[in-house]
Homo-oligomer: A and B are copies of this chain.
Amino acid sequence: MTRIPPCSARAVELAAGDELVIIDPEGQQVSDLVAFNPDDLAEYLSSGRSIDYASRMFLTTGDTLYSNRSRPMFTLLEDTCGRHDFTLTPCSKEMFEKIYGETEGRPGCEGNLAMALAPWGIDRDRVPVAFNVFMHVAVDGSTGEIAVLPPLSRPGAYLRLRAEMPLVAAMTACSAGQSNNFRYKPIDYRVDRLAPRPSKS
């Protein structure tokens, strides 16, 4: 088990078949998840494709997360929370300024994801709309108004995803107060290496 400290991010390489388990150890915390094809960074996890193919804004067990090339990147295998979405970009320095009036320049999930992904050559400009694990986005269907509410995740809630292709994935312990009810907590993750590993010859 790896702990992602509050307001930070970690990246991990996955083989096809590996299972990634994202856990909210204390409850009411959000983790922004992004992913790339490590062999061709122009292929990335796509909000628009995933929403389109599911015809649903909230994704859960049985749903697939697609790349911008319409290839399955993840299958959601098990979900003890039931609320995740794909609507908003990761929080960022600029978002903190605009929405919260913050001026101290915290990097937010966007900056933390870019730092975690720097070894793969992925910078801020490439950080896409994230799959917002445990995030509680409420939508008013008539007006389209969006509200970010305290997550529904209880302590120990988890989401288990299977990688459907080789991936570099990155996750955060979210830095945005609205997302985690203004309590900045850690996130845990574990990788179950179920795929045969390539032998080093």
Contacts from A to B (Cβ < 8 Å):
42-43, 46-49, 51-53, 55-58, 68-70, 85, 87-89, 92, 94-95, 98-99, 125-126, 128-129, 138-141, 143-147
Contact = CB atoms under 8 A, between A and B. Distances in A.
Contacts of A58: 143-144
Contact of A51 (B99, B143, B146): B146
Nearest to A56: B144
A180 B56 CA distance: 20
Given A69-B94, A99-B53, A87 B48 contact: yes
- Kindly report how many copies of this chain are found in the complex they form together: 2
Given A53-B99, A57-B146, A141-B138, A125 B48 contact: no
For the residues of A in contact with B, the DSSP-based class is: mixed
Contact of A89 (B49, B125, B147): B49
Nearest to A139: B141
For A52, A68, A139, the residue with the greatest tally of chain B CB atoms inside 10 Å of its CB is A52
A125 B43 CA distance: 7
Contacts of A94: 69-70
A200 to B, nearest CB: 31
Nearest to A146: B55
